[in-house]
Structure 1
Amino acid sequence: MTMPVDVPVIDTMIGFPLRDPAKTYAYITRQTKDAESRGDLKMPAGYMFKDVPEDGSEPGRDPVEITLEQMDRHGIAVGLVGVRGEDGARAVATRPDRFVGTLSVDPNQGMEAVRAIVSAHDSLGIRAVDVFPAGTTPQVAINDKKMYPIYAKCVELGLPIFVCAGVPGPRVPFAPQRVEYLDEVMYDFPELVLVTRHGCEPWTDLAVKLMVKWPNLYYSTSAFAPKYYPREIVDYANSRGAHKILYAGYYPMGLTLDRIMNELPNVPFKDEVWPRFLRENAARILAIE
């Protein structure tokens, strides 16, 4: 059960030091109603983390280079990054050896969102799409029919979609992210590769049952410090789900890579699970050689 040190890690949720945190998180804070979320938290789910890292920005330094330094320090070979912002799009274009792109979309935009996926696929070679159902305005549930054109385009282009599921960290309603909604989506789109983000709590047991049921449903460990990985997920990876669980961090949003990598070796994965978890599953889903 020893974590290998020679596996080139693929991080399926990493980002760059924020140039303007208030602007970055405005899509959430415009929904929240409590004073703490609107003013005192470093990030909208900051109350959930013991030590939310500083934004990591350094005057006069390129945020992409700062993240690359962190990746090199911790053995992360490739990072999946959002391409909505200037830094993500530039990183994917100039360092395709280290970064692959995902496009965040809002299903409320209808065909605009679909056209954005096609454009990013053509111009930036994105490898994935992602949606935060509870973070859209108005909120759009995982199984809402507004999501269906997004799912259909992902199938057509052969792109996986990363979808937040379970109770969200920001203080917004959780109803759009109920885990049972995944069952309907996977039934209607059996070819769709869907990876959950942010834990699926408190329905982790159900998430495991659905992964057993649906071949193309996966789970990533984003936004969880390794010491808090759900027991059900670790047990599933160690039994019949070694091919279904993907490593995802949360740098720099809520966790430092120092903390993640210090805690990760203590996760009781079996020896044969580690390479799949750290790299192979993500490499297969994201078409990374």
Structure 2
Amino acid sequence: MNVDELVAIDIHTHAEKSCRAPLLEEALAMEEAKAKYFKNDLGQPGIPEIAEYYRQRKMACVIFPVDAECCTGMPRVPNDEVAELVAQNKDVMIPFASIDPARGKMGVREARKLIEQYGVRGFKFHPTVQGFYPNDRMAYPLYEVIAEHKLPALFHTGQTGIGAGMPGGAGLRLKYSNPMHIDDVAADFPDMPIILAHPSFPWQEEALAVATHKPNVYIDLSGWSPKYFPPILVQYANSLLKHKVLFGSDFPLITPDRWIADFNKLPIKDEVRQLILKDNAVKLLGLKSAA
């Protein structure tokens, strides 16, 4: 990956399509509700298609599946499949994995294998769809492996479009994704970079408090069009947290084209704009130019 040639690094994109695990019929209703919520007409592009999409825009992306199999019963996109396909597109892609903490020792073993044999560079957690509080001690053995390798852990925070509008929200509970639960994790694993994904509605101020208090906590701006960002988030991104805020789109649910077009309309300082779009991610992920 030649970092110097990139115009931006998208820290938050999804691998939602597997060649090994076809979509179950019972998952179709949730996918339809998700597409309606985000007004997404891209469907579920495969990893090679996503790579070409970003390549054409001179961007790189962090990509991951979401393992919610234990809570939802829906098969995950296999982590090793994602890592193998990303390795074929490493000029524009960085692989993260997702392991439900409920997998226990099996998950810990899988995490170590993914890091050591597949070169995975971070891990994604979604407390709402995985049904756990981030500070639940059952997750700590998994965090220990991630922290040992000084890799980032990215946590969904705030409301989610998954299950939105479905009866009972598809049984998913928003309470798990309050960013204040991640404050405990940041205190207990100070050497593990933590990314709070999304504007954390309705807990935006909690997320800003954690990120300003804990040196290892960052915020990504994915999942929302920037035109809907609360003013306090823009204020902190422009000042106290300018080195800790990251561009993320939530592709394919939101495209980087749409996100950046709206971001360009925000009153962000020029030097901060470059930090958010690229430089903060370069530093956090330890990326280097291929030149």
TM-score (normalizing by structure 1):
0.82
Choose the corresponding residue for 1:80, options 62, 79, 100.
62
Q: Structure 1, residues 36-65: CA drift from partner, whole Å, max 9, x if none?
A: xx62x545534432x2123164xxxxx344
* SS class of match (1:113): helix
CA contact under 8 A between 2:79 and 2:98: conserved in structure 1? no
Three-state SS of the structure 1 residue aligned to 2:96 is strand
String of CA shifts for 1:210-245, please: whole Å, max 9, x gaps: 111111111101211222233222110111110110
- Aligned 8 A contact 2:51 2:89 in 1: no
**Separation (CA, whole Å) in 1 of partners of 2:219 and 2:24:** 24
1:24 shift after superposition: 5.4
Q: Percent identity?
A: 25
SS class of match (1:122): helix
2:125 maps to amino acid: V
SS of residue in 1 equivalent to 2:9: strand
SS in 2 for 1:167: coil
Equivalent residue number for residue 103 of structure 1: 97
Q: Which is further off, 104-113 or 229-238?
A: 229-238
User: What residue in structure 1 maps to residue 282 of structure 2?
Assistant: 283
Task: Spell out the pairing of 1:26-175 with structure 2 (5 A cutoff).
Answer: 39=29, 42-49=31-38, 51-55=39-43, 57=45, 63-76=46-59, 78-82=60-64, 84=78, 88-136=82-130, 139-170=131-162, 171=169, 172-175=172-175
SS at match of 2:95: strand
State the Cα distance separating 1:256 from its structure 2 match.
2.7
Matched-pair contact (CA < 8 Å) for 1:12–1:248: yes
Q: 1:168: how far off?
A: 2.4
Is 1:11–1:79's contact at 8 Å kept on the other side of the alignment?
Answer: yes
| Off by >6 Å, runs of 4+ in structure 1 | none
Matched letter for residue 79 of structure 1 = C
In the alignment, residue 189 of structure 1 is paired with which amino acid?
Answer: F
Contact 2:84–2:118 at 8 Å: present in 1 too? no
Question: Do the aligned partners of 2:35 and 2:41 also contact (CA within 8 Å) in 1?
Answer: no
**SS in structure 2 opposite 1:202?**
coil
Provide the aligned C-alpha RMSD in A: 2.5
Give the structure 2 partner of residue 34 of structure 1. Answer: none
Q: Which runs of 5+ in 2 are unaligned?
A: 66-77, 163-168
Distance 1:25 1:121, change over 3 A: farther
Distance 1:205 1:125 in 2: 35
Letter of the 2:152 counterpart: P
User: Deviations for 1:180-216, whole angstroms, at most 9, x for unmatched residues?
Assistant: 2122222222222110113211110111111111111
